[in-house]
Amino acid sequence: MGKQTTEMLKGTLEGIVLAILARQPAYGYEITARLRDQGFSDIAEGTIYALLVRIEQRGLVDVEKVPSEKGPPRKVYALNATGGEYLDEFWRTWSFLAERIEQLHRDIRPTHDTHDTDEAEGA
Amino acid sequence: MGKQTTEMLKGTLEGIVLAILARQPAYGYEITARLRDQGFSDIAEGTIYALLVRIEQRGLVDVEKVPSEKGPPRKVYALNATGGEYLDEFWRTWSFLAERIEQLHRDIRPTHDTHDTDEAEGA
DNA sequence: TACCGGTACTTAGCAAGACCGAATACTGAA
DNA sequence: TTCAGTATTCGGTCTTGCTAAGTACCGGTA
């Protein structure tokens, strides 16, 4: 994908990750891999880690360090109550935006123009 | 709305405006007013004007200056061929993202966890 | 005349979030 | 010893929306 995806992820990626954590706790590397599996083929790893730091600092998740057999310890993130509320608000915001955008998508064909801005057709 | 809306608009507002222009040419003040009517009650005027400058510089729209009876001349923007293609790509990107997010929304309830990351439950 | 409100656009500086690239750290296999 | 895979961190860049202020043009009113 391209630049449009990058920009669109701003504001939605956070909700996506929170939604994943709502299903079950997970750590950064795992989340990145799962996103790639789901088609987000080019989400940068650094992006996810930065996002996790942010949501931790805002108190939306609880963190536990769990030793790994294959490398450095994992930081396992779990959605807490605050995070749950924040996620609910995310869904409300998303629905609001998605509805309006879908409406625009449907309205591709102009009907016949009956809005009430003045019709100054000079020059 | 709050900060979530602001962040979510990044990447989508451009498509929204292009979609409006796809229906019919319009000028900044008018677009702002129309967005407010449609529920985007707190989109800053400056944001729209800045966005219009950007899409003009990228050659997605054609611009015509039209005198107004009530104030300074209007800059009327019309989607051109390049803009049309760009808008198509926007819809593809949007659909991709929206489908995955809706999927997450549906999957709020954990099924039973059958992903293939290793199950190291040590500590 | 002088002022105000509505119309219409511009600009500078800020904040947030995704990107890239590199570094760090731990493990097991070639 | 080196390399690949696992796992996290960090610094700097770019894009984009917001704030806030300013410019400009018009009509109505005191």
| Neighbour order of strands in the sheet with B26-27 | B26-27, B74-79, B61-66
By C-alpha to C1' distance, D15 is nearest to A7
Structure confidence at residue B96 (pLDDT): 96
Is residue B69 within 8 A of residue A118, CB to CB? The reply is yes
Give the pLDDT of chain B (123 residues) as one tens digit per residue: 688 999 999 999 999 999 999 999 999 999 999 999 998 988 999 999 999 999 999 999 999 999 999 999 999 999 999 999 999 999 999 999 999 999 999 987 555 444 444 443 332
CA quadruple A90, A95, A101, A105: dihedral sign = positive
pLDDT band at A123 (very low <50, low <70, confident <90, very high): very low
- CA-angle at B42, arms to A51 and A92, nearest 5°: 50
In Å, what is the separation between the CA of B33 and the C1' of D16?
Answer: 21
Burial annotation A19-39 (CB, 10 A radius, 16+ → b, else e)? bbbbeebbbbbbbbbebeeee
In chain B, beta strands by DSSP E: 26-27, 61-66, 74-79
List residues bridging with B76 in a β-sheet.
B27, B64
Q: Using a CB-CB distance cutoff of 8 angstroms, which residues of chain A are in contact with residue B108?
A: 19, 22-23
pLDDT of residue A122: 32
At residue B47, the pLDDT reads 97
Q: Which residue of A1, A3, A4 is the best one to mutate when testing the B interface, meaning the one whose CB has the most B CBs within 10 A?
A: A4
Strand partners, B62: B78
Q: Is the pLDDT of residue A114 over 50?
A: no
Read off the pLDDT of residues A10-57 as tens digits, 9 standing for 90 and up.
999 999 999 999 999 999 999 999 999 999 988 999 999 999 999 999
CA of B11 to C1' of C9 (A): 23
Q: Over chain B, what is the mean pLDDT?
A: 89
Q: Residue for token digits 């996506």?
A: A16
> B93 — contact with chain A (CB < 8 Å)?
yes
What confidence score (pLDDT) does residue B121 get? 36
Chain A residue closest to B95 (CA)?
Answer: A102
Cα separations (Å) of B25 from B18, B75, B109, B117? 10, 10, 45, 52
Closest CB to B11 among A8, A19, A115: A8
Q: Which of B40, B47, B75 is closest to B61 using CA atoms?
A: B75
Contact B11 A33 (CB under 8 A): no
What's the predicted TM-score (pTM) here? 0.88
- Percentage of the residues of chain A whose pLDDT score is greater than 70: 87
What residue spans of A2-123 are helical by DSSP H?
Answer: 3-9, 13-23, 28-37, 45-57, 81-106
**Do residues B61 and B87 lie in contact, with contact meaning Cβ atoms separated by under 8 Å?**
no
Q: What is the Cα–Cα distance from A95 to A113, expressed in whole angstroms?
A: 27
Task: Please give the pLDDT value at position A113.
Answer: 47
DSSP letters spanning A48-74: HHHHHHHHHHTTSEEEEEE--SSSSPE
CB-contacts to strand D (7 A): A 3, 7, 27-30, 45-46, 49-50, 52-53, 68, 70-76; B 6, 9-14, 42-47, 50-51, 54, 69-72, 117, 120
